[in-house]
Structure 1
Amino acid sequence: MVEALGICGRYLSAQLNTQSREEKQFCRELFEAMTEATVGRADPGKIVYPYDLEKAIQRLETSFYRDSFNRNSECAKAIDGAIYKSCYKRDFYNLDIAVMVTVHDYGFERVRVVLEYNIHSREYDGRFTRDNKEWASSFDLPDKAFGGAILNAHPILIDGFARHYRKLYQDLGAERFSLPGAPEAGHMVQGYEITRSIWFDDRRGFAIGHNPNAAAPFVCWQFKTENGARDFYWGSYCNSEKEAAAHFAARTLAHMQDEPIKEIPNLLAAAEMSTEQNYNMIDGLRNNMDAPKPDLTDGQTYEELRELAPDTLHSEKPSVLKQIKAAKDAPHPKKEPDEKGHTRAKHNPER
């Protein structure tokens, strides 16, 4: 994350100090590459708690609700601060950079919901464009969780910030980062296809499954990995994808908060763990065994090779038992007694 922010700073410097389109494009591509590597990682501070206070009390998760409430408020202040700092000339703002910095600190999802809440709650304000208002109309999280997440920047700047955010979101395909973990396909469990999963270094994780023909078409499971196979249990069956996503986010958040664990960063290795038959070979290739060594003997036995071509074989080494027996049978020189009757020890006169 520090490296990503450093790249972001260098990109800002390039935007302000160079007119070269090539340099600007290089910096942006570098930033996007680092974003790919960092922004999708599971971070409890970037997971938006999806339930209201009443449900959080029922689920014994009030601390998660309060933490998310405070994080929403901090995100709003960070957006205001990033907009203010991006003013490099009177009435000129680099809102593209302001978006990048805030997204790196708070994640795509939290920045999105804070923006949606502020624009949706001020739908009457004609300074917000129609496109941004329609985009923000999808906001459906508990309003009280955003009571402190009020943006104080000028509405025109907030509108421009939201426009740059939406562009970056689209350019990076950031819908992949709306939930922790990563998309998955091809793994079937009880008729449900796993569509998303997150793995942790304690060999546990969570997954969302989808079966359009089931009475409850979505499910959120917990799983554990043993002997290279995933065992799914504690399924929460849901009628909508949004409901399953809420279960997925809340259970992931609780798991990461309660135990000192980390997400497995190599998603290919995590997927391999679920199907690998040779469990000691987690190497990015599924179900691969040790490559057989080529047979260069043409079926001949060791004795035949020793008789036909003894020079091509490695010199034979006697076994440990034979070495011990040979050492016992070997003659030992007699030790000469010294004047006092003790065995004379070797002596270095220079010491």
Structure 2
Amino acid sequence: MSYLYRHSFENAEQSGEIEAYRESQKENIRCKNAIEKAIADNFDGYYLSDTAVRTALADFGYDRTMWVLAVSILNKNDDGRFSHENKEWARSVIPPYISQKEMREYCVDSHPAVLNGFIDEVRKEYSKLGLVGEKQCVHSDKPQDYERKLLILKPEILNEQFKSPINQYFYATGGFGCDPEKSGRKVFGQFLADGEKAHFYREDFCGVADYDQIPKWAVERLAQIEAPQMKIRIFQIDHDKDSNKLAFMNYDYAQAHGGVDSSIYRQIYGGTVNCKSLESVFALCNSDKTPPGYYGESMSVSNVIEVCEGKNKGFYFCNSVGFKPIDFDITRTDHNDMMKILVVENGKTPYKAEIRHDIHAMQSVVEGCIEPIYFEPKQDALVWCNDEFLLNNSEPNRMVGDCLVHGTFYVSGNCKNEYGEWDSCSLTDEQIEKYSEIFETPVIVFEQAEELTEDFEETEEPEITMS
């Protein structure tokens, strides 16, 4: 469907958009003629068939159809056969700077009483989309800062194929448009539903979402986006190599007995955790919900944590109280049996993890027995999921080929081992990038509005007459 130009001819001249303006005017006229024909073909003198509305919407979409209908009301604003509600609606659709002369070209000339009924039906169909707006926003007397806020895109900003409430939620991360006191207009961020990065203009938003009114899926996605993140690795002492009995002993004891020896440690996990400090990593690894793929002892004194990114990057010894920065040579540790995988949790962006090439570590990712899903024609990668995901009440996660997988799953490489048998292996960096993109979008379960807006509660359909 062609672009709907929502500004005046004067604005088009100033902006160098005359061609876009004229093309939109032509399409508006086509829409006007189509509406008149649809009404003429489907009104029998007493009743207007709903085929008329379906035809117009199928050919021109909601935005242009409603624009032309709103213009038609405003051109006949004194006509009492248009309802007060429809007149108010028309004023909300058409900006005041559009002149009567510009609108007259595509004003629908069907009988006002019949046209009023047609408009009612179009508005009913539109309300069924469940789109959100200013009523779902926080109301403030002052312009709001948008940075790190969940915003609601105006419905008219969405293309016809994306007119759904799930596509209206946008998490702003920056841009001059976030600050109401700056002259810049761009707002950068990501769609809440699928994490796709984009930018819009400040005026494209209804405002900041009222968090008390957002749906459950949005609450969960927002929590994940705003959760702190740390990329870490965890090392524990291999008891078979611990000749000095350093396991579970504090830093001073280790120093008195030869120091922290990297060669007696083995890596038991690597990945991204929703933590903001080493203390919170310690708490997570001692909880019932350890990171997917964590396979080792509960975190304790003598463990070593590597912070892989950020200002606190480095190695830290878990002491009796707190953590001690240390020098630690990862190349001397037992980490050759680690396997690089991609973990895909419900509602989260896929992330790279390092787990031991061990059945127990693999099962800990999906919290149960694993089952492969062959989705690659070359079979050089596999998805591994819980084999009872349909029985354990797991939430829908992602589509893998034609299969809707519930609960956490992971992607591993697939190759032949030294015995000529197919076996799991690490993903390459290229595969991690590829599957991160493929599985970027989570399945969103949401309930469409069960009722229409207050203006259109279900009532017995009145007959539309010419009087």
The TM-score, its normalising length taken from structure 2, stands at 0.36
Structure number with higher helix proportion: 1
- The structure that has the greater radius of gyration is 1
The TM-score, its normalising length taken from structure 1, stands at 0.46
Structure number with higher strand proportion: 2
